[in-house]
Amino acid sequence: MKSSLIVRQLSIALILFVGFSVKAYAQTQEIIIQTTAQCGECKTNIEKALMAEKGVRFAELDIKSKKVKVVYNSKKITPEQLRTVISKVGYDADDIPADTAAVERLKPCCTKDGHRED
């Protein structure tokens, strides 16, 4: 009798856990955003800014392609807000231009033409 009660309670707990996990997973989205990142410092700046946002679960910038992959909770943050975060640290984010004041605070190597070969 006790064992059937324990099994029933464990079953209910498992159902609730799976239900909440599926709901959380359904809200998780992934986006790739094109940036104007140039170097490792740019990578750190962008990833750090994104990870500080509520709802961002993962952010990784590939320097070679200048694309950042972001995994986020769509109930807490939108793609437009993610792009704005990148802009506010001084980088273009898809069609959103970098914030001018933020660009002025970047090291010269981190600007759009920072690593350009003449």
3-state secondary structure of 66: coil
What rounded mean pLDDT belongs to the chain?
87
The dihedral through the CA atoms of 74, 79, 80, 86 has a sign that is: positive
What pLDDT score was predicted for residue 48? 98
Model confidence at 26, pLDDT cuts 50, 70, 90, reads: low
DSSP conformational letter for 89: T
Model confidence at 112, pLDDT cuts 50, 70, 90, reads: confident
**Does residue 29 have a pLDDT over 80?**
yes
Distance CA 108, CA 104 (A): 9
Domain regions of the chain by residue span: 29-110
What pLDDT score was predicted for residue 96? 96
Model confidence at 118, pLDDT cuts 50, 70, 90, reads: very low
3-state secondary structure of 62: strand
Q: Which residue has the tokens 């943050």?
A: 77
Distance CA 96, CA 81 (A): 11
Model confidence at 21, pLDDT cuts 50, 70, 90, reads: low
Distance CA 11, CA 35 (A): 47
What pLDDT score was predicted for residue 113? 72
Distance CA 77, CA 50 (A): 11
pLDDT tens for each residue of 45-100: 999 999 999 999 999 999 999 999 999 999 999 999 999 999 999 999 999 999 99
Q: Which residue has the higher pLDDT, 111 or 42?
A: 42
CATH architecture of the domain covering 29-110: 2-Layer Sandwich (3.30)
Distance CA 104, CA 51 (A): 23
